[in-house]
Amino acid sequence: MISIRPEASREGTQGGFKAALPLMLGRVVGFAATFFIPVILARIFEPAQFGTYRQLFLIYGTLYGVAQLGMAESLLYFLPMARRHPGRYVTNATLVIGVTGLVCLLCLQEARGTISRWLSNDALGNPLPLLGLFLLFMTFSAPLEILLIAQGRYGWAAVSYALSDILRAVLILLPALLLHSLAGLLLGAAVVAAARAVALLLYLRREFPGDVRPDRALLKSQLAYALPFQLVVILEALQTNF
């Protein structure tokens, strides 16, 4: 029988808490920065305009979870085991979710009339392409914090979470206050998301020099791992929203 020393158990618990603490702090700061966004927007916008904002971000929240196909989260499984070519795992994940984000953008662009009729809101049509742009960049940059966590850089991940949410709050509220338009709000959000995408690309270039390339064999194993979990996410999203 294998026995576990109490000291080893306590050390593991303490190590896990030390790793989780900065992440929790980063998320708390981010939550505090974004918590009052809907409250402030409700005072800035007319009721119909605010309702459109809520519908837009309902669409965003649904597609953001689905479009990643579980590839970003799969890095938490593959990277700690990747003794060779870790950059290829990240490249595969980034390319796949970048393509799905682009597909979402094109679908929102081409089907905006249908979506507006489906949700009984003609005001949705014009801002949907900007929402798609925001979704594209946010989806593409989704591996950023996950990559940092998988590498044990919890402090960096916490800073990234907090800074992204703070900038998003500022660049959503300022255009809304100055322009009183959903287009300005979404453009500000897209700028923050684009900055995240650039940060991810720069980090990949710095961290994995010469290894930022796709790998078909690794991609097959990533998809085989991620897609079953993603199916559960899709089913949950359908159950929650429909």
Instruction: Tell me the backbone φ, ψ of residue 141, rounded to 5 degrees.
Output: -90, 5
Q: State how far Cα 31 lies from the chain centre.
A: 15
The CA distance from 78 to 93, in Å, is: 11
Cα dihedral 176, 130, 100, 75 sign: negative
* More reliable by pLDDT, 60 or 21: 60
Query: pLDDT for 150-208, tens place per residue?
Result: 988 999 999 999 999 999 999 999 999 998 899 999 999 999 999 999 999 999 999 99
- DSSP string of 82-148, one letter each residue: -SS-HHHHHHHHHHHHHHHHHHHHHHHHHTHHHHHHHTT-GGGTTTHHHHHHHHHHHHHTTHHHHHH
* Residues present in the chain in total: 242
pLDDT category of residue 26 using cuts at 50, 70 and 90: confident
Q: Answer whether 134's CB lies under 8 Å from 190's CB.
A: yes
Cβ atoms 55, 119 nearer than 8 A: yes
Percent of the chain at pLDDT exceeding 70:
90
E strand spans, the chain: none
* pLDDT tens-digit readout, 134-153: 999 999 999 999 999 998 89
Q: Quick check: 92 and 133 in contact, CB under 8 A?
A: no
Mean pLDDT of the chain: 88
Residue 216 neighbours by CB distance under 10 Å: 8
The rounded distance, in Å, linking the Cα atoms of 45 and 32 is: 22
pLDDT at 82: 82
Q: Which pLDDT tens digit goes with each residue over 164-176?
A: 999 999 999 999 9
238 or 213: which leads in pLDDT: 213
pLDDT over threshold 70, residue 7: no
- Considering the chain, what percentage of its residues have pLDDT values greater than 90? 67
pTM: 0.87
pLDDT band at residue 132 using 50, 70 and 90 as cut-offs: very high
